A and B are shown apart, each in its own frame.
Chain A
Amino acid sequence: MPVRSDADIITARQKGRDLATVLGFRATDLTMIVTAISELARNIVQYAHHGEIRLRIERNHALAGLVVVAADQGPGILDVTKALEDGYSTSGSLGLGLPGVKRLMDEFYIKSSLNGGTVVTTKKWRSSSIAQLATGVAACAMQGQAASADRYLVLQRRRDYLLAVIDGVGHGAEAEFASELATRALRESPEGSLESLLALCHARLRATRGVVMSLASIDARQGQLSWIGVGNVNGVLFKNVINARQPARSLVQRGGVVGHTLPPLRGETIGMERGDTLVLATDGVASAFDQEIPLSISAQELADRILARHGRGNDDALVLVARHSGPET
């Protein structure tokens, strides 16, 4: 649609809102998309005087996305890198614009040449359309203890899922406090690499007894699992291969205690396809749980079964199961 005036900005916003609503975006995402369209349309009116905004739907596997293209034949941007820095403006009146749009959307591309116009392409993916992950969890506290110091976390991040199983060192309130603190740190700032998340927890837990933990991120769309472990929270990935049982992959853990001694760390990334099942378990579960053949039952049933059959009973125990249940990758 053409963008020439103030009124066109409002029309572009409205069309963007309508299309994004049809695609099923949630209110927060809707507003972010519409705000981005408003900024882009305004740039056109302000700098190029006329241009156009194109909206289209893009599908990538199960993912639905809205693509917003803003194109004009205006004067172009002299220094694109600079234009993407906060506070930069050529007219002095628009201090935000492009860096803001970049933050509002998931993907951002810009092509501009002096006197050759500017094309900005941005995309927003519908977050609920990230391929599904089925999870199950089973836990019990050590006999004689009211509460367990084991914690788990499953969070949907921007591009993937983050999973954590955390075991506070020792037992009782102090151990529980440490694992609670780690859980909270991850919940508050879940984005970033697994290594950086471990470092974050390490920094936050210095005054505590510390925890052992394993972290995993699952990008179901790309079919990838990344994982990392400090101390003995076991991780196993069962492969879903019909009639030919492929050996399960085990997480390589490094010795250490998050909050006290953090070993040099590097996460590992391996393939995870539909049906593949990740199990993370604290040391209250005997490591022989990897002998289970888990693929015919649900994630929750598997968690229950592993705890029932392999729980030691003399320690806090927690089993987290996550199965790739999305479309084929």
Chain B
Amino acid sequence: MQVPILKQGAYLIATVQSAVSDDDFLQLRKSLMQQVRGFRSRAVIVDVTSIDVLDSYACRTLRDIAHMIALQGAKTVVVGIQPEVAFSMIQLGSKLEGVVTALDLEEGLAFLEGSSAKQ
């Protein structure tokens, strides 16, 4: 199942579904890279609210996405990591170093508004 990406003004919002495969993740990375360039987006929000598992591979892919988008001059915010998922990530030893996270979509948008207002 492909991850839908919504264009909202200067932002892109990707809503990741629960049964996302590795290929879907790679496809997401590719699409986001293209669309950030195509739409000249300033930021990407990756919403993982409905994801019930973030294993080491998924975490690394999220990290890669954020870093690649940063290299294109845009920001990435990962929103909606569930408490149980966060707990398992810590047990597993997964880290999202250098990735901005926010509680939910609303907080993620608020963060982006706040950080663009300061510039």
Interface positions of A (Cβ within 8 A of B)? 6-7, 9-10, 13-14, 17, 27-28, 30-32, 34-35, 38-39, 42, 86, 94-97, 99-101, 103-104
Residue among B57, B82, B88 with the most chain A CB within 10 A? B88
Of the A-B pairs whose beta carbons lie under 8 Å apart in the complex, a sample of 7, sorted by A's number, is: A28-B84, A28-B88, A31-B82, A34-B53, A96-B92, A97-B56, A104-B91
| Chain A interface mostly | helix
Contact status B52-A6, CB under 8 Å:
no
Residue among A30, A31, A101 with the most chain B CB within 10 A? A31
Q: B39 on the interface (CB 8 Å rule)?
A: no
The residues in B between 21 and 61 inclusive whose CB is less than 8 angstroms from any CB of A are 21-23, 52-57
Q: B98 on the interface (CB 8 Å rule)?
A: no
* Residue from A7, A10, A39 within 8 A of B92 (CB atoms): A39
A190 to chain B, nearest CB (A): 17
Which range contains the number of B residues in contact with the other chain? Answer: 20 to 34
Enumerate chain A residues within 8 angstroms of B22, measured Cβ to Cβ: 6, 9
A17 with B52, Cβ < 8 A, contacts A28-B84, A35-B92, A39-B92 known: yes
Docked pose: A86 CA to B95 CA in angstroms: 13
Docked pose: A95 CA to B55 CA in angstroms: 12
Docked pose: A9 CA to B23 CA in angstroms: 12
Docked pose: A261 CA to B99 CA in angstroms: 48
A39 with B87, Cβ < 8 A, contacts A6-B23, A10-B19, A100-B93 known: no
A18 to chain B, nearest CB (A): 12
Enumerate chain A residues within 8 angstroms of B92, measured Cβ to Cβ: 35, 39, 96, 100-101, 103-104
Enumerate chain B residues within 8 angstroms of A104, measured Cβ to Cβ: 88, 91-92
Docked pose: A31 CA to B83 CA in angstroms: 10
Enumerate chain B residues within 8 angstroms of A13, measured Cβ to Cβ: 53
* Residue from B21, B57, B84, B89 within 8 A of A27 (CB atoms): B84
Docked pose: A14 CA to B20 CA in angstroms: 12
Contact status A31-B84, CB under 8 Å:
yes
Docked pose: A321 CA to B55 CA in angstroms: 43
B32 to chain A, nearest CB (A): 20
Enumerate chain A residues within 8 angstroms of B91, measured Cβ to Cβ: 32, 35, 100, 103-104
Enumerate chain A residues within 8 angstroms of B88, measured Cβ to Cβ: 28, 31-32, 35, 104
Closest to B24 in A: A6
Enumerate chain B residues within 8 angstroms of A94, measured Cβ to Cβ: 56-57
Closest to B57 in A: A42
Contact status B84-A30, CB under 8 Å:
yes
Q: B101 on the interface (CB 8 Å rule)?
A: no
* Residue from B56, B57, B87 within 8 A of A28 (CB atoms): B87
Listed from nearest, the 4 A-B pairs whose CB atoms lie closest are A100-B92, A31-B84, A38-B55, A96-B56
